[in-house]
Structures are given as structure tokens and as C-alpha cells.
Amino acid sequence: MREILSTPRLLIREIAPTNLPGLHRIYRDPECMRFYPAPKSCPETRAWFQELAFDSYARNGFGLWAVISRDTGDPIGDCGLTLQRTPAGQEPEVGYHLWRGFWHQGLATEAARACVCYGLDILRMPRVVSITSPENLPSQKVAERVHQRREVFTRISRATGQEVLRYLYVTDAEA
């Protein structure tokens, strides 16, 4: 699969269908999915990557990408740019999921920072965002390290239909 970026400890490349079982390990894990409505089944994980990786590559030229450890050559998660609805409309959002054995090492920050730079510098996006729930402190810590500022907004939850508070972390392209 096509390599998108590299960092000192990571390679970030397009996801291959053969990566889906390893990525499903993350998406089925209750601890990894603690801030989502529920862990995903295997068909739900396939549908997630069909939309946010494979279809997005074809439609947008970007999507969720595999995060590969340079040390082992193994996929350890995903990170990338997807289009998400914000108060400003559809915007590129950096999302990241790593297997919990790779948490607390700065790898999510390293991958997310590289994706923000790719969106701004290579894809010439006017801004890149990250969206978190107020409860998701680990994701907020990553977003705070990667983005310039935080805004607050509400939206309707797809899972419950109720209005929920969200934090929008924003990095603007240099003028």
C-alpha cells in the first residue's frame, strides 16, 4: 500500500484489507473504545474502514491510514484525515486509534501532528480539526499538543439523538 508519511518512529500508509483483522482488535476492545457508544463487531469495523479509508481514498485522496511501528514493521493502529461535520460545515478531522499497548509513549501525538502537517502543507487545507468528548481526556491531551486552540460546540449524537457537548481543536493554515 502507498506510504503517506513517515516520522522518527512511525510509517503511515494506506490501509490494506489484510490490515482489518489487526485493526479490529482495537475496535472490538472495550478499553480502546471506551469513549465510543460500544465496541464494534467485525462487520461494523469493515464498514467503518470501507467508508473512512477505502471510499475516502477514492473520493477525497485521504482517509484513515495504518500506523506502522518502524521498530517492528507491525501495524499498531490508525490515524488520518476524515471529513466530519463541525459548526463550520464539513472539515478535515484528525482521528487516531492505537492498540493500548502503545499508549502513553507519544505515538498518537506523533502520528496526529504528522497528519495535521500533511493536511495543511501537502493537501493545502485551510484548517484541520480534532473533535473529542469532554470525557475523553487522553484524546484531549493529544489534541492539545497538536492544535493551536480549542472551541466548544454541541451536536446531536447519532447514537442517542440527544444534544452533546464536544470540544473542537483547531489548527489554521499559516496566512
The reply to whether 134 falls in a domain is no
The reply to whether 165 falls in a domain is no
pLDDT, averaged across the chain: 95
In this predicted structure, the answer to whether residue 51 has a pLDDT above a threshold of 90 is yes
CATH code, domain carrying 84: 3.40.630.30
The reply to whether 70 falls in a domain is yes
- Domain of 76 in residue numbering reads as 3-125
Tell me the three cell numbers of residue 50. 470501507
Number of domains in the chain: 1
The reply to whether 44 falls in a domain is yes
The reply to whether 162 falls in a domain is no
| Residue 1's pLDDT band (cuts 50, 70, 90) | confident
Reduce the DSSP state of residue 119 to 3 states and report it.
Answer: helix
Count, in order, helices (H) and strands (E) of the chain.
5, 8
Digit-coded pLDDT (tens) for 78-102: 999 999 999 999 999 999 999 999 9
The closest of 88, 79, 83 to 151, measured between CA atoms, is 88
Task: Give the DSSP letter string of 63-117.
Answer: -EEEEEETTT--EEEEEEEEEEEETTEEEEEEEEEE-GGGTTSSHHHHHHHHHHH
- Averaged pLDDT for residues 33-52: 96
The reply to whether 57 falls in a domain is yes
Task: Report the DSSP beta bridge partners of residue 152.
Answer: 167
In this predicted structure, the answer to whether residue 175 has a pLDDT above a threshold of 80 is no
Residue 17: per-residue pLDDT: 94
